[in-house]
């Protein structure tokens, strides 16, 4: 177990991890910081064992985003580890995030609570629309007569390419829905 301490540290004193393989979306992170503030600390290696003082192990793009916003300092968990442990932390932070998956039904329920105001979430309207193409459409058991010609309900799903459009159409057809492709 690594000893940790949390402190507020000046951004000018931080050194980004050299050779970081991660390419994050600094704009999305900056938007989140603007809307939500900092809600979790970054991880910084004190550097006693590596001779690299204040090296950011987790949160490099958060540091970049904070700098673009003109922040002067940021909250950080300070660790003091050797090079091997530093590499393991950097790689684990990236890989464990990459290997996560979402329950799209649950995710869409959470997003729905925001009533289409996705500011600060990292999600755009288009990304949510794409998610809608990846879920089962529940039968709510409602009383609406879908055969009534006066009832017109529609959904537009933005697809990345023709292949995704074809797959999405087929999933919807398999659900028994009347669908058509538009460009």
Q: Does the pLDDT at position 137 exceed 50?
A: no
Q: What is the mean pLDDT of residues 93-119?
A: 87
Closest to 67 measured CA to CA, from 27, 40, 97: 27
Q: What is the mean pLDDT of residues 90-111?
A: 88
Higher-confidence residue of 118 and 100: namely 118
What is the helix (H) or strand (E) element at residue 61, kind and residue range?
helix 60-68
Pairing of strands 42-45, 5-10: unpaired
Strand ranges (DSSP E) for the chain? Answer: 5-10, 42-45, 55-58, 73-79
Q: Does the pLDDT at position 140 exceed 70?
A: no
Please report, for residues 21, 38, 73, 174, the alpha-carbon distance to residue 57 in angstroms, rounded to integers and kept in the order given.
12, 17, 16, 46
pLDDT category of residue 126 using cuts at 50, 70 and 90: confident
Closest to 175 measured CA to CA, from 157, 162, 160: 157
Residues whose CB falls within 8 Å of the CB of residue 125, separated by 6 or more in sequence, listed in order: 116, 118
Residues whose CB falls within 8 Å of the CB of residue 67, separated by 6 or more in sequence, listed in order: 11
pLDDT at 9: 97
Q: Give, in words, the CATH class of 5-98.
A: alpha beta
Q: Are 40 and 100 in contact (CB under 8 A)?
A: no
pLDDT category of residue 125 using cuts at 50, 70 and 90: confident
Alpha-carbon gap, residue 78 to 46, rounded angstroms: 6
CA 12, 33, 46: angle at the middle one, nearest 5? Answer: 35
Write out the residue limits of the CATH 3.90.1530.10 domain(s) in the chain. Answer: 5-98
Higher-confidence residue of 77 and 97: namely 77
Higher-confidence residue of 86 and 140: namely 86
Instruction: Tell me what the pLDDT averaged over the chain comes to.
Output: 84
């Amino acid at each position: 177990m690594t000893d940790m301490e949390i402190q507020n540290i000046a951004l000018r004193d931080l050194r980004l991890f050299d050779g970081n393989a991660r390419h994050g979306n600094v704009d999305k992170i900056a938007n989140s910081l603007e809307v939500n503030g900092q809600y979790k600390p970054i991880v910084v290696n004190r550097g006693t064992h590596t001779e690299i003082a204040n090296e950011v192990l987790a949160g490099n793009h958060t540091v970049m985003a904070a700098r673009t916003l003109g922040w002067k300092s940021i909250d950080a968990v300070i660790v003091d580890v050797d090079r091997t442990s530093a590499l393991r932390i950097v790689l684990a932070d990236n890989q464990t995030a990459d290997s996560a998956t979402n329950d799209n039904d649950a995710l869409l329920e959470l997003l729905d609570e925001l009533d289409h105001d996705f500011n600060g979430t990292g999600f755009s309207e288009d990304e949510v629309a794409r998610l809608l193409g990846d879920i089962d459409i529940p039968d709510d058991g409602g009383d609406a007569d879908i055969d009534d010609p006066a009832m017109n309900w529609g959904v537009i799903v933005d697809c990345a390419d023709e292949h995704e459009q074809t797959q999405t159409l087929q999933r919807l057809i398999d659900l028994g829905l009347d669908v058509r492709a538009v460009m």
